[in-house]
Amino acid sequence: MREARTTCPYCGVGCGVVACVEDERIVDVQGDPEHPANFGRLCVKGSALHETLGNHGRLTRPRVDGVEVDWETALATVAERLTAVQATRGSQALAAYLSGQLLTEDYYVANKLFKGFLGTPHLDTNSRLCMASAVAAHKRAFGADAVPCSYEDLEEAELVVLVGSNLAWNHPVLYQRLKVAKQRKPLLRVVVIDPRVTDTCEIADLYLGLKPGSDARLFTGLLAWMAKRNKLDRVYLEQHVQGFDEALAAAREQDAGVEAIAADCDVDAERLETFFYWFASHLHVVTLFSQGVNQSSSGTDKGNAIINCHLAGGKIGLPGAGPFSITGQPNAMGGREVGGLANQLAAHMDYDTPGARDRVTRFWATERRVPCLPDGPGHKAVALFEAIERGEVQALWIMATNPAVSLPRADRVRAALAKCPLVIVSECMADADLLAYADIVLPASSWSEKDGTVTNSERRISRQRGILPPPGEARHDWWIVCEVAKRLGFGEAFNYSHPSEIFDEHARLSGFENGENPGEGRRLFDISGLVGLDRAAYDGLAPIQWPVNAGAPHGTARLFTDGRFATPDGRARMLPVRPRSPAQALDAARPLRLNTGRIRDQWHTMTRTGRAPRLMNHRAEPFIEIAPEDASELGVEEHALTRLHGAGGSYIGRMRVSRGQRRGEVFVPMHWSSHFSGSALMGELLEAHLDPISGQPESKHGAVWLEPL
Ligand code: SF4
């Protein structure tokens, strides 16, 4: 028996895992007691990792037009067909759709190939569905997409506010840490702000069951309340913040007192004022926000409304203080680091970052290339599939994700895929329903085989180690991308023999000409301190939080401790926020508000977690959660099969009547794909309403009607 240290591939907590290997099989997993994210803990999903493994059902051979082929044929065909589309329709007809499941090294080479060498900006990722609004809010406020806090701040806080987060189910180990902290520190208070009463409420001292979508109203109300009660940190505002007057003026436009805010948010006024008082009277406050805030047509504004309150009270850059966006996926942050969003170029630089295009061009040595680096952002996820529908994008390479299930109007996404002339899919599982749309299928390695790095929600880079060989002819994503790049004639720039070489280049780019550019501000994502790791050092890399550079060789637990931000003048920005209702209106035809989300024991479309019987036992089938009053009014009973009708299709699930559900609202889980149930595709219920800044879809605010079966 041997032991191997790696990282869990599920949520953004990024727990360290010790895998026990016997006869080339992982027979058990334990939490890594030395990993600073989890200190030995694992949740039920993580502890069942070994039960989801095995070669049964894996893709092991490449396929072209439905016929199994060898790798040389598959790679040459990908290169030929991409070249043909580019020659006839131009670079803008090429696109890629990536995933927060990819490792940073996979992401880096894919971004480099598509943007740097194929010259198309249309490379986006499923992280667009989970944290794009938080990214945009960070950039507006701090000048960089940077999460200020560490997990230990939850333990050091006096008050933890959870907004739009069912931490107990979606980030269970973090919830466990908070629960233990509360037991040890009885004065630590927890406030939960969420339309649903979830398991997270078990540790809440105060629960605000607000009306869906009213978060910005609540936090602009808090800002106005703090100003009125003289609870602002005037010195901090004076020294470190711009935009306070405009932000406060916008908050005051809507301020008609606590009673009016409470009525707008549909919460009890006394409880609301208690929350305001607690927030304002504690310095060490962490506001942890997640998909309930981000998955909204005004998610960016909601993020800034939260950040505004922290800046106004000076509650940032201190132990136990700060706004804290928690990501959904294991490597959503790594994808952001390499530039894997369509509005990014590379290494946390956007297209409009002063000098960025020229700098990246020189770093990748693409000055003489035609086409050169794109000069503006590409299509964000939903817009990308609309461009395919219109015939503008003619070739799409999808890696490690299933947009046919997870995107809003999944019915239209599937229609777009069906008409796209070239669909390339890199995938691990032979039964993934996306394969039905693929012209070329490339078998990819999976967790326990992949070798590289991921970054969790607290900016901590950890190694996900290759422990077992991939089955059959499955290959690593970075290898597949590089081999295609070589056949496209870019061999010199993609001649890596090991992921450590890719990581080294990524680290060098992060520090390349950083701090030498007037008007740009500091680029906070800087891991130049990790340049030059040889294979052994890379393999042994201990978890470390960025920035890691000459000024912080051991990493950085907390950002903005000196009150300097990443804006050109070093000051944070408060934004004027004017709350908006969800874009999706309710009407007589679709009178119920739809909320969507994860369940405790499943992950994404269940391709992995669906293989472990004990994980399936938690919730074995799709369900629809509804308030008792609505159930009785609509004539549906607990456990009855019921159909929801939404924007582009319907969803059949078993009724769960819950007192935790508000009247007029229903909740459905997001996980079921056609493979598990062809009649419960959550994405078909949602219209594609987007946040205008981040492009993130409004997945928490659908409109549906319910039909008893
Ligand atoms: Fe994995 Fe998240 Fe559970 Fe940790 S909390 S074991 S990262 S699923």
According to DSSP H, which parts of 186-298 are helical?
215-228, 234-240, 244-253, 258-265, 269-281, 291-294
Do 464 and 609 have their domain in common?
Answer: no
Report percent pLDDT > 90 for the chain. 85
pLDDT at residue 597, as a whole number: 87
| 562 in a structural domain | no
pLDDT exceeds cutoff 80 at 705:
yes
Distance CA 689, CA 667 (A): 18
Nearest CA to ligand 1 atom 2: 11
The mean per-residue pLDDT over the stretch 78-89 comes to 98
Q: How far is the CA of 617 from the centre of ligand 1 (A)?
A: 18
Amino acid type, 134: A
Is the complex ipTM more than 0.95? yes
Q: How far is the CA of 378 from the centre of ligand 1 (A)?
A: 32
Instruction: Answer whether 362's CB lies under 8 Å from 390's CB.
Output: no
Residue 266, burial from CB neighbour count under 10 angstroms (0-12, 13-18, 19+):
middle
Q: How far is the CA of 592 from the centre of ligand 1 (A)?
A: 33
Q: Count CB-CB contacts under 10 A for residue 24.
A: 8
Nearest CA to ligand 1 atom 6: 46
Nearest CA to ligand 1 atom 4: 15
The mean per-residue pLDDT over the stretch 523-538 comes to 96
Q: How confident is the model at residue 674 (pLDDT cuts 50, 70, 90)?
A: low
The mean per-residue pLDDT over the stretch 509-538 comes to 88
| 652 in a structural domain | yes
Query: Which of 7, 13, 166 for mutating ligand 1's site (highest number of atoms within 8 Å of CB)?
Result: 13
Q: How far is the CA of 604 from the centre of ligand 1 (A)?
A: 13
Protein residues whose CB sits closer than 6 Å to any atom of ligand 1 = 8, 10-11, 13-15, 38, 42-43, 45-46, 171-173
Cis peptide before 371 (omega within 30 of 0): yes
Q: Per the structure block, which two tokens stand in for 455? A: 């970054």
Do 204 and 308 have their domain in common?
Answer: yes
630-662 pLDDT, tens digit per residue, is 999 999 999 999 999 998 888 999 999 999 999
pLDDT exceeds cutoff 70 at 103:
yes
Query: Which of 32, 44, 45, 602 for mutating ligand 1's site (highest number of atoms within 8 Å of CB)?
Result: 45
- Considering only 226-235, 318-327, 509-518, which range has the smallest mean pLDDT? 509-518
State how many domains the chain has.
4
Q: How confident is the model at residue 6 (pLDDT cuts 50, 70, 90)?
A: very high
The mean per-residue pLDDT over the stretch 349-375 comes to 88
| 180 in a structural domain | yes
The mean per-residue pLDDT over the stretch 520-544 comes to 93
Q: Residue 10: which of 34, 24, 38, 23 has the closest Cα?
A: 38
The mean per-residue pLDDT over the stretch 343-350 comes to 94
* 316 vs 368, residue with greater confidence: 316
Q: How far is the CA of 272 from the centre of ligand 1 (A)?
A: 32
The mean per-residue pLDDT over the stretch 551-562 comes to 96
Distance CA 608, CA 56 (A): 12
Q: How far is the CA of 13 from the centre of ligand 1 (A)?
A: 6
pLDDT exceeds cutoff 80 at 371:
no
pTM of structure: 0.96
558-616 pLDDT, tens digit per residue, is 999 999 999 999 999 999 999 999 999 999 999 999 999 888 888 887 888 888 888 88
Q: How far is the CA of 270 from the centre of ligand 1 (A)?
A: 36
According to DSSP H, which parts of 617-694 are helical?
628-634
Do 612 and 682 have their domain in common?
Answer: yes
pLDDT exceeds cutoff 90 at 134:
yes
Phi, psi of 274 (to 5 degrees): -60, -45
Q: In what order do the strands lie in the sheet with 544-545?
A: 452-455, 460-464, 544-545
Do 480 and 378 have their domain in common?
Answer: yes
pLDDT at residue 516, as a whole number: 65
Average pLDDT of the residues of the chain:
94
Do 399 and 491 have their domain in common?
Answer: yes
Q: For position 28, which CATH number holds? A: 3.30.200.210
Do 421 and 366 have their domain in common?
Answer: yes
Do 349 and 388 have their domain in common?
Answer: yes
Helix/strand/coil for 220: helix
pLDDT at residue 559, as a whole number: 97
| 95 in a structural domain | yes
Distance CA 37, CA 173 (A): 8
Q: How far is the CA of 155 from the centre of ligand 1 (A)?
A: 18
Instruction: Answer whether 350's CB lies under 8 Å from 135's CB.
Output: no
Q: For position 232, which CATH number holds? A: 3.40.228.10
pLDDT exceeds cutoff 70 at 673:
no
46 Cα nearest atom in ligand 1: 6
pLDDT exceeds cutoff 70 at 114:
yes
Q: How confident is the model at residue 149 (pLDDT cuts 50, 70, 90)?
A: very high
pLDDT exceeds cutoff 80 at 247:
yes
The span from the first CA to the last CA of the chain, in angstroms, equals: 53
38 Cα nearest atom in ligand 1: 4
pLDDT at residue 615, as a whole number: 83
**In sequence order, what are the residues at sequence separation of 6 or more whose Cβ sits closer than 8 angstroms to the Cβ of residue 476?**
106, 444, 445, 449, 450, 451, 470, 499
The mean per-residue pLDDT over the stretch 94-106 comes to 96
| Residue-number span of the structural domain to which 15 is assigned | 2-52
13 Cα nearest atom in ligand 1: 7
Q: For position 118, which CATH number holds? A: 3.40.50.740
Do 313 and 336 have their domain in common?
Answer: no
pLDDT at residue 63, as a whole number: 98
Q: For position 702, which CATH number holds? A: 2.40.40.20
